[in-house]
Structure formats: structure tokens, C-alpha cells
Amino acid sequence: MKHALIKLDEIPQTGSIIVPFFGREVHVYRSERGLKAAANVCPHFGGPLDCEGGKLICPWHRSEFDMTTGDRLTGPASKNARLMFLSTRVEDDTLYYVWGE
């Protein structure tokens, strides 16, 4: 099964774009390892994330996360905290969320 997230030409070359996802939001962006879709939720306390300086940062408590690996860089989030990435696939001109494959 799959669900369209965004057209490829709508994804910025730098930074991220927030797209709706079944009543929630995901950051979609380009990274060293290709296109990424990360849940717009800080694993520390559930706050939203801002894209700043090549990192996703929680404005509530300033936890910072690497956009490529999802690893916590700094802040009060636990040292092993990670962003949640969606499983995605590119088909034609669209990035899809895929599951059950």
C-alpha cells in the first residue's frame, strides 16, 4: 500500500517542508542519503520541530536532531532518542509513504 506525500518539485533544495500525514505532520526534505520524511514530533516531550541550520530543533526545550540519521545531537532528549522516519518511495514525480511491503 502507498499514500502520496508530495510532488518532488515541491520539496525545497535546502530546509524542509511540512506536509499533512493522516491528521499529523511530517517534515520532508533532501539529505545526504536521499529524500527523508520525519514525523514533526520531538521524542523528548512531543513538541513540534523547526528546521534550522540543517537540523530539526524543538522550540520547547531546544533538543536538536541530525536530519540525515535522526540522532539526537544536543538538548534534554535522551542521548539515544531518534527522530521517527517514514518508509518512503519515489514513483514518477511523487514521494509516497509506503507500508506493508
Gap between the Cα atoms of 101 and 99, Å rounded: 6
In DSSP terms, 24 is beta-bridged to: 21
- How far apart CA 68 and CA 83 sit, in angstroms, is 10
**Domain around 74:** 2-98
Q: What total number of domains does the chain contain? A: 1
The domain that holds 14 is classified in CATH as: 2.102.10.10
Identify the pLDDT of residue 101. Answer: 75
C-alpha cell at 85: 522516519
Q: Residue 100's pLDDT is what?
A: 84
Contact by Cβ (8 Å): 45, 62: no
How many other C-beta atoms lie within 10 A of the C-beta of residue 71? Answer: 14
**Model pTM greater than 0.85?**
yes
Report yes or no: 87 and 98 within 8 Å, Cβ to Cβ. yes
pLDDT tens across 13-25, in order?
999 999 999 999 9
Checking if the pLDDT of 31 tops 90, the result is yes
The answer to whether residue 10 scores a pLDDT higher than 90 is yes
The predicted-structure confidence for 36-76, as pLDDT tens digits, reads as follows 999 999 999 999 999 999 999 999 999 999 999 999 999 99
